[in-house]
Structure 1
Amino acid sequence: MVVLTGEMILEFLETLENHIRELRTSIDMESVGKLIESIVSSRSIFIMGAGRSGFVAKSFAMRLMHLGYNVYVVGETTTPKIKKDDLLITISGSGETSSVVNITMKAKSMVGSKIAVITSSPNSSLAKMSDVVVVIKGKVKTEKDDRISKLAPLGTMFELTSMIFLDALVAELLNIKGLTEDNLKEKHAILE
Protein backbone atom coordinates (compact mmCIF):
# COMPACT_ATOMS: atom_id res chain seq x y z
CA MET A 1 0.00 0.00 0.00
CA VAL A 2 1.25 3.49 -0.89
CA VAL A 3 1.51 5.93 1.99
CA LEU A 4 0.73 9.46 0.83
CA THR A 5 2.49 12.17 2.82
CA GLY A 6 1.81 14.93 0.33
CA GLU A 7 5.28 16.32 1.04
CA MET A 8 6.41 16.30 -2.59
CA ILE A 9 3.13 17.77 -3.83
CA LEU A 10 3.32 20.67 -1.41
CA GLU A 11 7.02 21.23 -2.17
CA PHE A 12 6.29 21.20 -5.91
CA LEU A 13 3.49 23.75 -5.51
CA GLU A 14 5.71 25.99 -3.40
CA THR A 15 8.52 25.73 -5.95
CA LEU A 16 6.14 26.60 -8.79
CA GLU A 17 4.72 29.52 -6.81
CA ASN A 18 8.22 30.90 -6.23
CA HIS A 19 9.09 30.36 -9.89
CA ILE A 20 6.05 32.35 -11.03
CA ARG A 21 6.84 35.11 -8.55
CA GLU A 22 10.38 35.27 -9.98
CA LEU A 23 8.98 35.40 -13.54
CA ARG A 24 6.81 38.37 -12.55
CA THR A 25 9.90 40.37 -11.57
CA SER A 26 12.29 39.12 -14.28
CA ILE A 27 10.18 39.21 -17.45
CA ASP A 28 11.42 41.75 -19.99
CA MET A 29 8.30 43.78 -20.75
CA GLU A 30 9.97 45.40 -23.75
CA SER A 31 10.27 41.96 -25.38
CA VAL A 32 6.68 41.19 -24.43
CA GLY A 33 5.61 44.47 -26.06
CA LYS A 34 7.45 43.47 -29.26
CA LEU A 35 5.70 40.10 -29.21
CA ILE A 36 2.31 41.77 -28.83
CA GLU A 37 3.09 44.18 -31.68
CA SER A 38 4.15 41.25 -33.87
CA ILE A 39 0.95 39.35 -33.11
CA VAL A 40 -1.29 42.36 -33.73
CA SER A 41 0.42 43.37 -36.99
CA SER A 42 0.72 39.93 -38.61
CA ARG A 43 -1.56 38.65 -41.35
CA SER A 44 -1.45 35.11 -39.93
CA ILE A 45 0.24 33.54 -36.92
CA PHE A 46 1.90 30.14 -37.04
CA ILE A 47 2.78 28.46 -33.75
CA MET A 48 4.95 25.46 -33.00
CA GLY A 49 6.74 23.53 -30.31
CA ALA A 50 7.78 19.91 -29.88
CA GLY A 51 6.73 17.50 -27.16
CA ARG A 52 5.11 19.14 -24.15
CA SER A 53 6.07 22.58 -25.45
CA GLY A 54 3.94 21.62 -28.45
CA PHE A 55 0.94 21.20 -26.16
CA VAL A 56 1.60 24.67 -24.74
CA ALA A 57 1.80 26.00 -28.32
CA LYS A 58 -1.52 24.40 -29.26
CA SER A 59 -3.20 25.85 -26.17
CA PHE A 60 -1.93 29.32 -27.06
CA ALA A 61 -3.04 28.89 -30.69
CA MET A 62 -6.54 28.01 -29.50
CA ARG A 63 -6.76 31.16 -27.38
CA LEU A 64 -5.50 33.34 -30.24
CA MET A 65 -8.21 31.81 -32.45
CA HIS A 66 -10.78 32.64 -29.75
CA LEU A 67 -9.50 36.22 -29.86
CA GLY A 68 -10.16 36.33 -33.60
CA TYR A 69 -6.61 35.95 -34.94
CA ASN A 70 -5.87 33.94 -38.07
CA VAL A 71 -3.74 31.24 -36.43
CA TYR A 72 -2.31 27.85 -37.42
CA VAL A 73 -0.39 25.10 -35.67
CA VAL A 74 2.67 24.01 -37.65
CA GLY A 75 2.46 20.34 -38.61
CA GLU A 76 -1.33 20.09 -38.78
CA THR A 77 -2.71 18.93 -42.13
CA THR A 78 -4.80 22.09 -42.59
CA THR A 79 -1.90 24.50 -42.04
CA PRO A 80 -1.23 26.59 -45.17
CA LYS A 81 2.05 27.94 -46.47
CA ILE A 82 3.64 30.64 -44.30
CA LYS A 83 4.26 33.98 -46.03
CA LYS A 84 6.40 37.06 -45.50
CA ASP A 85 3.64 39.00 -43.69
CA ASP A 86 3.17 36.16 -41.21
CA LEU A 87 4.59 35.50 -37.75
CA LEU A 88 6.04 32.19 -36.57
CA ILE A 89 6.02 31.79 -32.79
CA THR A 90 8.19 28.94 -31.52
CA ILE A 91 8.20 27.56 -27.99
CA SER A 92 11.33 25.71 -26.89
CA GLY A 93 13.01 25.69 -23.49
CA SER A 94 16.40 24.75 -24.88
CA GLY A 95 15.99 26.67 -28.13
CA GLU A 96 17.82 23.77 -29.79
CA THR A 97 15.09 21.25 -30.62
CA SER A 98 16.18 20.19 -34.10
CA SER A 99 12.75 19.99 -35.75
CA VAL A 100 11.77 23.42 -34.42
CA VAL A 101 15.13 24.96 -35.36
CA ASN A 102 14.99 23.51 -38.90
CA ILE A 103 11.43 24.69 -39.58
CA THR A 104 12.22 28.12 -38.15
CA MET A 105 15.30 28.39 -40.37
CA LYS A 106 13.14 27.60 -43.38
CA ALA A 107 10.54 30.25 -42.46
CA LYS A 108 13.27 32.83 -41.90
CA SER A 109 15.59 32.17 -44.84
CA MET A 110 13.23 30.94 -47.55
CA VAL A 111 10.19 33.10 -46.83
CA GLY A 112 11.41 35.99 -44.68
CA SER A 113 8.67 35.58 -42.08
CA LYS A 114 8.94 37.33 -38.73
CA ILE A 115 10.09 34.95 -35.98
CA ALA A 116 9.38 35.06 -32.25
CA VAL A 117 10.59 32.56 -29.68
CA ILE A 118 9.56 31.77 -26.12
CA THR A 119 12.63 30.12 -24.54
CA SER A 120 14.77 29.71 -21.45
CA SER A 121 17.91 30.02 -23.55
CA PRO A 122 18.57 33.56 -24.83
CA ASN A 123 21.79 32.43 -26.59
CA SER A 124 20.25 29.42 -28.35
CA SER A 125 20.01 28.80 -32.08
CA LEU A 126 16.33 29.77 -32.07
CA ALA A 127 16.97 32.98 -30.15
CA LYS A 128 19.78 33.99 -32.50
CA MET A 129 17.55 33.74 -35.58
CA SER A 130 14.46 35.32 -33.98
CA ASP A 131 13.24 38.89 -34.31
CA VAL A 132 11.59 38.73 -30.88
CA VAL A 133 12.91 36.73 -27.92
CA VAL A 134 10.90 36.33 -24.72
CA VAL A 135 12.91 34.59 -22.02
CA ILE A 136 10.95 32.45 -19.59
CA LYS A 137 13.31 31.09 -16.97
CA GLY A 138 12.90 27.42 -16.36
CA LYS A 139 15.11 24.42 -15.89
CA VAL A 140 15.69 22.98 -19.31
CA LYS A 141 16.36 19.29 -19.84
CA THR A 142 20.12 19.69 -20.02
CA GLU A 143 20.58 21.52 -16.70
CA LYS A 144 21.55 19.71 -13.50
CA ASP A 145 19.55 20.69 -10.41
CA ASP A 146 18.79 17.72 -8.14
CA ARG A 147 15.97 19.43 -6.23
CA ILE A 148 14.13 20.62 -9.34
CA SER A 149 14.88 17.35 -11.15
CA LYS A 150 13.14 15.42 -8.40
CA LEU A 151 10.12 17.77 -8.25
CA ALA A 152 9.73 18.84 -11.87
CA PRO A 153 11.81 16.69 -14.23
CA LEU A 154 13.03 17.69 -17.66
CA GLY A 155 11.30 20.82 -19.00
CA THR A 156 8.34 20.90 -16.60
CA MET A 157 9.13 24.30 -15.05
CA PHE A 158 9.58 25.92 -18.46
CA GLU A 159 6.40 24.38 -19.86
CA LEU A 160 4.22 25.32 -16.90
CA THR A 161 5.63 28.82 -16.64
CA SER A 162 5.29 29.36 -20.40
CA MET A 163 1.65 28.28 -20.25
CA ILE A 164 0.97 30.72 -17.42
CA PHE A 165 2.82 33.54 -19.20
CA LEU A 166 0.93 32.92 -22.46
CA ASP A 167 -2.40 32.94 -20.62
CA ALA A 168 -1.39 36.29 -19.12
CA LEU A 169 -0.56 37.47 -22.65
CA VAL A 170 -4.03 36.39 -23.78
CA ALA A 171 -5.52 38.53 -21.00
CA GLU A 172 -3.49 41.51 -22.26
CA LEU A 173 -4.60 40.92 -25.87
CA LEU A 174 -8.21 40.55 -24.70
CA ASN A 175 -7.91 43.96 -23.07
CA ILE A 176 -6.16 45.55 -26.07
CA LYS A 177 -8.90 44.32 -28.41
CA GLY A 178 -11.65 45.41 -26.00
CA LEU A 179 -13.18 41.94 -25.95
CA THR A 180 -14.95 40.01 -23.21
CA GLU A 181 -15.23 36.36 -22.33
CA ASP A 182 -18.55 36.33 -24.19
CA ASN A 183 -16.69 37.29 -27.39
CA LEU A 184 -14.36 34.32 -26.90
CA LYS A 185 -17.32 31.98 -26.32
CA GLU A 186 -18.61 32.89 -29.79
CA LYS A 187 -15.59 31.10 -31.29
CA HIS A 188 -15.37 28.28 -28.74
CA ALA A 189 -15.75 24.80 -30.20
CA ILE A 190 -19.08 23.04 -29.85
CA LEU A 191 -18.01 19.90 -31.72
CA GLU A 192 -16.16 18.28 -28.86
Structure 2
Amino acid sequence: MTEENMTECKHLKSSILLMVGHLEKVAQDLDNESIKEMLDHLLKARRIFVIGAGRSGLVGRAFAMRLMHLGLSSHVVGETTTPAVSANDVVVAISGSGQTRSVSDLGKIAKDIGATLISITSNKDSKIGNMSDTVIELQGRSKDDVGGYVERHMRGEYTYLTPLGTSFETSASVFLDAVIAELIFITGASEADLKSRHTNIE
Protein backbone atom coordinates (compact mmCIF):
# COMPACT_ATOMS: atom_id res chain seq x y z
CA MET A 1 0.00 0.00 0.00
CA THR A 2 1.43 3.34 -1.03
CA GLU A 3 1.43 6.43 1.16
CA GLU A 4 -0.83 8.15 -1.38
CA ASN A 5 -3.43 5.40 -1.09
CA MET A 6 -3.29 5.57 2.68
CA THR A 7 -3.83 9.33 2.91
CA GLU A 8 -6.54 9.76 0.28
CA CYS A 9 -8.77 6.92 1.57
CA LYS A 10 -10.67 7.19 -1.71
CA HIS A 11 -12.46 3.87 -1.40
CA LEU A 12 -13.42 4.46 2.23
CA LYS A 13 -15.02 7.83 1.47
CA SER A 14 -16.67 6.52 -1.69
CA SER A 15 -18.21 3.63 0.24
CA ILE A 16 -19.69 6.05 2.78
CA LEU A 17 -21.15 8.19 0.00
CA LEU A 18 -22.51 5.05 -1.67
CA MET A 19 -24.33 4.16 1.55
CA VAL A 20 -25.65 7.73 1.94
CA GLY A 21 -27.18 7.55 -1.52
CA HIS A 22 -28.58 4.11 -0.79
CA LEU A 23 -30.17 5.28 2.47
CA GLU A 24 -31.83 8.20 0.70
CA LYS A 25 -33.44 5.77 -1.73
CA VAL A 26 -34.49 3.45 1.11
CA ALA A 27 -36.18 6.38 2.90
CA GLN A 28 -38.01 7.48 -0.24
CA ASP A 29 -39.24 3.95 -1.01
CA LEU A 30 -40.59 3.16 2.48
CA ASP A 31 -44.27 2.21 2.62
CA ASN A 32 -45.98 4.46 5.17
CA GLU A 33 -48.88 2.08 5.78
CA SER A 34 -46.53 -0.76 6.66
CA ILE A 35 -44.62 1.51 9.04
CA LYS A 36 -47.84 2.61 10.74
CA GLU A 37 -48.84 -1.04 11.15
CA MET A 38 -45.45 -1.82 12.69
CA LEU A 39 -45.65 1.08 15.13
CA ASP A 40 -49.18 0.08 16.14
CA HIS A 41 -48.13 -3.54 16.73
CA LEU A 42 -45.13 -2.48 18.82
CA LEU A 43 -47.11 -0.12 21.02
CA LYS A 44 -49.87 -2.67 21.65
CA ALA A 45 -47.58 -5.63 22.26
CA ARG A 46 -47.35 -7.26 25.65
CA ARG A 47 -43.72 -8.04 24.88
CA ILE A 48 -41.47 -7.63 21.84
CA PHE A 49 -39.07 -10.34 20.71
CA VAL A 50 -36.31 -9.76 18.14
CA ILE A 51 -34.83 -12.42 15.85
CA GLY A 52 -31.80 -12.11 13.59
CA ALA A 53 -28.77 -14.14 12.54
CA GLY A 54 -25.20 -12.90 12.18
CA ARG A 55 -24.87 -9.16 11.57
CA SER A 56 -28.65 -8.80 11.33
CA GLY A 57 -28.76 -10.28 14.83
CA LEU A 58 -26.45 -7.53 16.06
CA VAL A 59 -28.78 -4.93 14.53
CA GLY A 60 -31.68 -6.64 16.32
CA ARG A 61 -29.90 -6.57 19.67
CA ALA A 62 -29.36 -2.80 19.36
CA PHE A 63 -33.05 -2.35 18.52
CA ALA A 64 -34.13 -4.45 21.51
CA MET A 65 -31.93 -2.35 23.79
CA ARG A 66 -33.50 0.89 22.55
CA LEU A 67 -37.00 -0.56 23.04
CA MET A 68 -36.04 -1.33 26.63
CA HIS A 69 -34.79 2.24 27.09
CA LEU A 70 -38.25 3.37 25.97
CA GLY A 71 -39.83 1.30 28.72
CA LEU A 72 -41.15 -1.45 26.44
CA SER A 73 -40.67 -5.09 27.35
CA SER A 74 -38.18 -6.43 24.80
CA HIS A 75 -36.16 -9.61 24.43
CA VAL A 76 -33.62 -11.10 22.05
CA VAL A 77 -34.50 -14.63 20.95
CA GLY A 78 -31.72 -17.04 21.89
CA GLU A 79 -30.64 -15.32 25.11
CA THR A 80 -30.72 -17.50 28.22
CA THR A 81 -33.12 -15.15 30.04
CA THR A 82 -35.60 -14.81 27.15
CA PRO A 83 -39.09 -16.00 28.20
CA ALA A 84 -41.58 -18.01 26.14
CA VAL A 85 -43.47 -16.22 23.36
CA SER A 86 -47.25 -15.89 23.72
CA ALA A 87 -50.12 -14.91 21.43
CA ASN A 88 -50.11 -11.36 22.82
CA ASP A 89 -46.50 -10.76 21.81
CA VAL A 90 -44.84 -9.29 18.72
CA VAL A 91 -41.83 -10.89 17.05
CA VAL A 92 -39.59 -8.75 14.83
CA ALA A 93 -37.56 -10.84 12.38
CA ILE A 94 -34.60 -9.29 10.54
CA SER A 95 -33.27 -11.00 7.40
CA GLY A 96 -31.96 -9.38 4.23
CA SER A 97 -32.73 -12.34 1.99
CA GLY A 98 -35.82 -13.34 3.96
CA GLN A 99 -34.70 -16.93 3.46
CA THR A 100 -32.36 -17.38 6.45
CA ARG A 101 -33.41 -20.79 7.72
CA SER A 102 -32.98 -20.15 11.44
CA VAL A 103 -34.96 -16.90 11.22
CA SER A 104 -37.77 -18.28 9.06
CA ASP A 105 -38.08 -21.41 11.23
CA LEU A 106 -38.40 -19.29 14.38
CA GLY A 107 -40.83 -16.99 12.58
CA LYS A 108 -43.06 -19.97 11.78
CA ILE A 109 -42.99 -21.07 15.43
CA ALA A 110 -44.03 -17.55 16.46
CA LYS A 111 -46.92 -17.63 13.98
CA ASP A 112 -47.99 -21.10 15.18
CA ILE A 113 -48.13 -19.73 18.74
CA GLY A 114 -50.32 -16.87 17.52
CA ALA A 115 -47.86 -14.01 17.95
CA THR A 116 -47.75 -11.10 15.51
CA LEU A 117 -44.79 -11.37 13.14
CA ILE A 118 -43.09 -8.31 11.66
CA SER A 119 -40.30 -8.86 9.15
CA ILE A 120 -37.58 -6.43 8.12
CA THR A 121 -36.22 -7.68 4.79
CA SER A 122 -35.15 -6.69 1.29
CA ASN A 123 -37.38 -9.39 -0.19
CA LYS A 124 -41.07 -9.17 0.77
CA ASP A 125 -41.87 -12.26 -1.33
CA SER A 126 -39.43 -14.39 0.65
CA LYS A 127 -40.23 -17.20 3.07
CA ILE A 128 -40.27 -14.91 6.11
CA GLY A 129 -42.05 -12.14 4.21
CA ASN A 130 -44.88 -14.37 3.07
CA MET A 131 -45.70 -15.54 6.59
CA SER A 132 -45.50 -12.09 8.24
CA ASP A 133 -48.37 -9.91 9.40
CA THR A 134 -46.40 -6.81 8.44
CA VAL A 135 -43.43 -6.54 6.10
CA ILE A 136 -41.01 -3.63 6.02
CA GLU A 137 -39.12 -3.87 2.75
CA LEU A 138 -35.70 -2.23 2.69
CA GLN A 139 -34.17 -2.39 -0.75
CA GLY A 140 -30.61 -3.62 -0.65
CA ARG A 141 -28.24 -6.25 -1.92
CA SER A 142 -28.51 -9.37 0.20
CA LYS A 143 -25.84 -12.02 0.78
CA ASP A 144 -27.45 -14.09 -1.97
CA ASP A 145 -26.63 -11.45 -4.59
CA VAL A 146 -22.98 -12.46 -4.84
CA GLY A 147 -23.12 -13.02 -8.60
CA GLY A 148 -24.14 -9.45 -9.34
CA TYR A 149 -21.47 -8.12 -7.02
CA VAL A 150 -18.68 -10.10 -8.69
CA GLU A 151 -19.96 -9.30 -12.18
CA ARG A 152 -19.90 -5.56 -11.54
CA HIS A 153 -16.35 -5.80 -10.26
CA MET A 154 -15.20 -7.80 -13.28
CA ARG A 155 -16.68 -5.19 -15.60
CA GLY A 156 -14.97 -2.43 -13.68
CA GLU A 157 -18.25 -0.60 -13.07
CA TYR A 158 -17.39 -0.09 -9.41
CA THR A 159 -14.05 -0.29 -7.66
CA TYR A 160 -15.79 -0.12 -4.30
CA LEU A 161 -18.94 -1.66 -2.94
CA THR A 162 -20.20 -2.61 0.47
CA PRO A 163 -19.51 -6.35 0.92
CA LEU A 164 -22.11 -9.10 1.24
CA GLY A 165 -25.22 -7.97 3.13
CA THR A 166 -23.79 -4.71 4.45
CA SER A 167 -26.20 -2.48 2.50
CA PHE A 168 -29.20 -4.20 4.06
CA GLU A 169 -27.77 -4.34 7.57
CA THR A 170 -26.79 -0.67 7.56
CA SER A 171 -30.23 0.25 6.18
CA ALA A 172 -31.95 -1.90 8.82
CA SER A 173 -29.90 -0.31 11.60
CA VAL A 174 -30.73 3.23 10.46
CA PHE A 175 -34.39 2.36 9.88
CA LEU A 176 -34.83 0.80 13.32
CA ASP A 177 -33.13 3.78 14.97
CA ALA A 178 -35.65 5.96 13.12
CA VAL A 179 -38.46 3.72 14.43
CA ILE A 180 -37.20 4.45 17.94
CA ALA A 181 -37.18 8.19 17.18
CA GLU A 182 -40.80 7.95 16.00
CA LEU A 183 -41.79 5.99 19.10
CA ILE A 184 -40.15 8.61 21.31
CA PHE A 185 -42.28 11.26 19.60
CA ILE A 186 -45.49 9.20 19.85
CA THR A 187 -45.03 8.27 23.51
CA GLY A 188 -43.67 11.66 24.57
CA ALA A 189 -40.69 10.00 26.24
CA SER A 190 -37.95 12.36 27.39
CA GLU A 191 -34.19 12.03 27.32
CA ALA A 192 -34.34 11.63 31.10
CA ASP A 193 -36.78 8.72 30.73
CA LEU A 194 -34.40 6.89 28.41
CA LYS A 195 -31.35 7.60 30.59
CA SER A 196 -33.15 6.31 33.67
CA ARG A 197 -33.31 2.84 32.09
CA HIS A 198 -29.76 2.82 30.75
CA THR A 199 -27.47 0.27 32.36
CA ASN A 200 -25.65 1.52 35.45
CA ILE A 201 -23.68 -1.68 36.12
CA GLU A 202 -20.64 -1.83 33.82
Q: TM-score range by the shorter chain?
A: over 0.9
- Provide the rounded CA distance (Å) in 2 between the counterparts of 1:103 and 1:94: 15
Select the residue among 157, 166, 190 that pairs with 1:156: 166
Output aligned runs, 1:54-133, within 5 Å: 54-109=57-112, 111-133=113-135
Aligned to 2:199: 189
- Provide the rounded CA distance (Å) in 2 between the counterparts of 1:24 and 1:76: 32
Q: Deviations over 1:14-34 (max 9, x none)?
A: 101101111121010110000
Q: Percent identity?
A: 39
Aligned to 2:14: 11
TM-score (norm 1): 0.96
Larger Rg belongs to? 2
Q: Deviations over 1:16-62 (max 9, x none)?
A: 11011111210101100000000001100000100000000000000
1:35 paired with 2:38, answer yes
Tell me how far 1:149 sits from its aligned partner.
Answer: 9.0
**Contact 2:118/2:135, CA 8 A, preserved across alignment:** yes
Select the residue among 163, 182, 188 that pairs with 1:178: 188
TM-score (norm 2): 0.91
Q: 1:81 to 1:2 in 2, by over 3 A?
A: farther
In the alignment, structure 1 segments of 5+ residues that lack a partner are none
In the alignment, structure 2 segments of 5+ residues that lack a partner are none
Q: CA RMSD in A?
A: 1.3
- Provide the rounded CA distance (Å) in 2 between the counterparts of 1:103 and 1:168: 25
Q: How many residues align?
A: 191
Q: Deviations over 1:44-84 (max 9, x none)?
A: 00001000000000000000000000110000000000000
- Provide the rounded CA distance (Å) in 1 between the counterparts of 2:51 and 2:108: 13
**Contact 2:98/2:122, CA 8 A, preserved across alignment:** yes
Aligned partner of residue 116 in structure 1, secondary structure: strand
